[in-house]
Amino acid sequence: MEQVFFISDVHLGAANESAEREKYRKLTSFLNHINSPGTQLFIVGDLFDFWFEYKYVVPKHYFPILFQISKLIENNVTVHFLPGNHDCWIKDFFSQQMGMIVHPEEFSIELQSKRIYFFHGDGISKKDTGYRILKKIFRNPLNIFFYRLLHPDFGIPFAKLMALGSRKHTAGKDFGDEDDYLNYAIAKFEQGFDYVIVGHSHKPALKNIGNNSFINLGDWIQNFSYGKLENGILSLNFWNG
């Protein structure tokens, strides 16, 4: 039976040069490990610390990992991408030039006879009201249109600075959101889903409730954690490269 892998919150470009090299090394070794025809990879948001796609321009410093992903796709690995709150400003580069299957919003799919619900997880925490307001602003099509009028040499560095501020804000607060995430998953179980997969909080966790499972994928900044579905069983794992 096929193997299915899940990652989120890699935040490429977020760390200093040394930490980024180590992150790239581990992520590249992980992608090489799963590079088998028929495998599926789900990227559940925030692969990039910042991504803003212009009509003819994309951020160039992510090309090493984009190249690794393109090798997966060429080898008949199916790659799904669900934007997160740091890389939601996409157009058609991932789908048309890369060949990824892009899911613009939360979605569900059946894999290995299991109904699985995917959501990046931003906005689940009830205490994070400020972010819910910002999410509506950042994802407003009119605001995105006007931002694209900025020259990339200004727009991309400025947005990266905002992404850094967002991460520092989130890291410095304890939203106490574990129960919010679990309650969110339980509500999905009641709707008939078997598994719920999220990211965003950078807190890897796997909760089994009866025949249902909820997984928070953690991150690739400190935990290097990932999910795996094999023979219908969902597991949480940690990559040491």
Pick the closest to residue 75 from 33, 27, 25, 12 (CA basis): 33
Length of the chain in residues, anyone?
Answer: 241
Q: pLDDT tens digits, residue range 193-211?
A: 999 999 988 899 999 999 9
Q: In whole angstroms, give the CA distance from residue 13 to residue 24.
A: 10
Domain containing 173: what range?
4-238
**Given a cut of 90, is residue 13 above it in pLDDT?**
no
In this structure, the number of other CB atoms found within 10 A of the CB of residue 136 comes to 11
Structure confidence at residue 60 (pLDDT): 80
Closest of 198, 89, 84 to residue 139, by C-alpha? 89
Average pLDDT over residues 21-49: 95
Would the pLDDT of 133 be above 60? no
User: What pLDDT does 151 receive?
Assistant: 64
84 confidence band (pLDDT: 50, 70, 90):
confident
Highest mean pLDDT pick, 39-53, 85-99, 214-228 = 214-228
pLDDT of the residue at 175: 47
Structural domain tally of the chain? 1
Q: Is 194 in contact with 213 (CB distance < 8 Å)? A: yes
CATH value at residue 125: 3.60.21.10
Return the SS3 of 80.
strand
Q: How confident is the model at residue 148 (pLDDT cuts 50, 70, 90)?
A: low
